[in-house]
Amino acid sequence: MVPAASVDNYAGEDNKENIFSIKYTYTSDYNGNTDGNHWMVMFGMREFTSYPYGNGWGITVNGKLWDSYKETDTRRSASIISVDDEEIPFDKINNQREYTGYYNKKYSPMSDIDGNSVVTAVGGVSFQISQFQDYVVMRYSDVLLMAAELGSANAQTYFDEVRQRAYKENFVSTTVSQENIMKERHLEFALEGVRYWDLLRQGVNTAASTIAETTELLSGGVSDTKTISEENIKTTNGLIQIPNTQITLSNNVLQQNAGW
């Protein structure tokens, strides 16, 4: 079993791996001041806190991502909260939607050892609007993998450097290739908002076939079938809907994306 996480294991903000981050703070209020990281609360376990993880709205992580990692890859437990593996006494399954047993560790709200949100401890109004964790836009490993993908003479060295940090004493070199770089990016940048665009730039058909699935999840404690359609992704070219309000404000200069 993996022991419950400790805040001592977190690299923290502004560490040497970070190249560019969007900064947030805890001073948001309900009067229009919105300088907090408002989306991060979505990833917390719904109606449940277990140190050091704070509660949130309960967006879960697909179990396929957990299974994509080898057991010797330290990024697995660094990226994903596994309720069972961390022996978290989670008793709110019936309160969850699309429950998988996995949550986003990289962007989880945090609590103190007494179960209080860290945002209120520093003066934030509420865990709902006062999350202050930075959003990391680019890390050093991204630069290394981009250089390898672009055909640097040091491609193998850069590729190995990323993987060596992940596997530590269990590291075994793998030949650098486009396919292996994409696999590595999937594991390295999991839950950081990178994977979807990496898939799309390989072609809509590749993205659609990779993303599409039908799976059984628990919603409200009851089995629920979730289907992501390959054809829908192809029809929309992987693009989201433009809000109709924005089309109206542009006097119809903006045209709705195909498929919507």
CATH of domain 139-209: 1.25.40.900
The pLDDT tens digits for 171-205 are 999 999 999 999 999 999 999 999 999 999 999 99
Q: Which two tokens stand for residue 223?
A: 């089995």
Banded model confidence at residue 1, pLDDT cuts 50, 70, 90: very low
Which of 11-20, 111-120, 144-153, 232-241 has the weakest average pLDDT? 11-20
- Interval 223-229 mean pLDDT: 93
Positive or negative torsion for Cα 62, 63, 64, 66? positive
Burial category of 114 from C-beta neighbours within 10 Å (exposed 0-12, middle 13-18, buried 19 and up): exposed
* Measured distance CA(199)–CA(176) in Å, rounded: 19
* Measured distance CA(247)–CA(257) in Å, rounded: 11
